[in-house]
Amino acid sequence: MDQIENSQVLMARQPIFDRNQKVIAYELLYRTEDAQGHALFANSEATSEVILNAYTSISDAGEVKRVPAFINLTRDILVEQRLPEVSKKYIVLEILEDIEPDEEVVNAVQKLHSEGYRIAMDDFVYAPKYDGLLKLAHIVKIDIDALSMDEVRQQVNELKRHKVTLLAEKIETHEQLESCIELGFKLFQGHFLSKPKVVKGKKIQGSQVALMQLIQELQSTKATPERLEELIIRDPALTYKLLRIVNSAGYSLVRQVESIAEAIVLLGLEQVKKWATLIAMSSNQDKPEELARSLLIRGRMCEEVARAAKLTNHGSYFMAGMMSGLHAMLDIERETMLEQVPLGDDIKEAVSLGQGPIGQVLRNVVNYENGDWDLLPSDLDGNIYDKAYRTSLEWTQESMQAMYE
């Protein structure tokens, strides 16, 4: 039996957005020891609370808040009522599409509904046999990828007589998002944020190029505080933000730092690299904060996996993870971005082709965060990836919170 099968729960999260592309919940994607979801709910109340809190707490404009978790239920868990003992306002229970809505299931859902749980129907396609469950459901999820837009419209019309909120899932493009908004969907889920709204002939702005040059310089073993200061002071906004960060409460300095060179010495090159990257990711105000957050999580997870696997040059793994989605932030094609941004060949090959040691880790991390467990290598150490993911969630939340101190 492979190592993943023997490991503890593998768990990742996928955001659920409202019409303003703000995160209002996360769906928890998990793979357990017995493939039935038992392990996730076998924990004590405290452990369940800790797990859910770690995966559903985010920093939104500097404010730490918790959003609900959508949790998939198998028939066994549903009927046997084996649920985590956590506040009902923080979980939404998803009834999977392959669960037959017989009397036993409807009675179980009725009990959960009466106890105050919110119910969602997953991958829903209407049939009269679901009428009993629809009376109890709060949210209905429709798989946009599995239906034509005409079929989606039919589903929406059929559900109008039921008092449910519609969630469009597996949205891959901004065009699909806009069509679903027009049809009346209120919630949205999918990979549309990771793809750019391409503007032909668009170039990276000069200030963004300068920031990328700084990040590239930070990769060099010959980088000096003086050379870095020379690059940083070209961008007044970057200068201001770095000084604000180093003078924030998080560093508890006894005096104010007034020069960039002094800030670099106090922070250290690794910290400056991460802060410069964070500022780069958050500089585009037109993009949802979740996009920056997800790329920072990916970058840090690549770095943590590299460190745990005793691979060299951890910083390059961080850069590859972050750069793998930067084109969506800039609204240009990936290849155009890689041509304009100064990066090492190993990072470019990892991002564009998935090649080399960095590319292999990047592929595994992307598959992990998407919950594509079957695409992970059979000899992958699930414990390393699980720990790296949780560490990355915490680091990104703390980092984004510090940006607003």
Domain ranges of the chain: 3-194, 206-402
Query: What class does CATH assign to 3-194?
Result: alpha beta
Token output for 283: 């500089």
Task: Identify the weakest region by mean pLDDT among 69-78, 177-186, 253-262, 365-374.
Answer: 253-262
Closest CA to 64 of 296, 404, 397, 289: 397
Q: Over the stretch 314-373, which tens digit does the pLDDT of each residue have?
A: 878 988 998 898 888 777 788 887 877 667 789 899 999 999 999 999 999 999 999 998
DSSP string spanning 190-225?
ESGGGS----TT----HHHHHHHHHHHHHH-TT--H
Contacts within 8 Å (CB) and 24+ apart, 226-230? 226/261, 228/260, 228/261, 228/264, 228/269, 228/272, 229/259, 229/260, 229/261, 229/264
- The whole-angstrom separation of Cα 58 and Cα 158 is 36
Task: Identify the weakest region by mean pLDDT among 33-37, 227-231, 261-265, 358-362.
Answer: 33-37
SS3 135: coil
- The whole-angstrom separation of Cα 17 and Cα 289 is 11
Domain 206-402, classified CATH 1.10.3210.10, yes or no: yes
Contacts of 24 (CB under 8 A, 6+ apart): 16, 17, 18, 67, 68, 187
Q: Over the stretch 382-397, which tens digit does the pLDDT of each residue have?
A: 889 999 999 999 988 8
Phi/psi region, residue 77 (left: phi>0; alpha: psi -120 to 50; beta: rest), is alpha
DSSP string spanning 53-100?
HHHHEEEETTEEEE--EEEEE-HHHHHHT----S-GGGEEEEE-TTS-
Helix (H) or strand (E) holding 303: helix 289-308
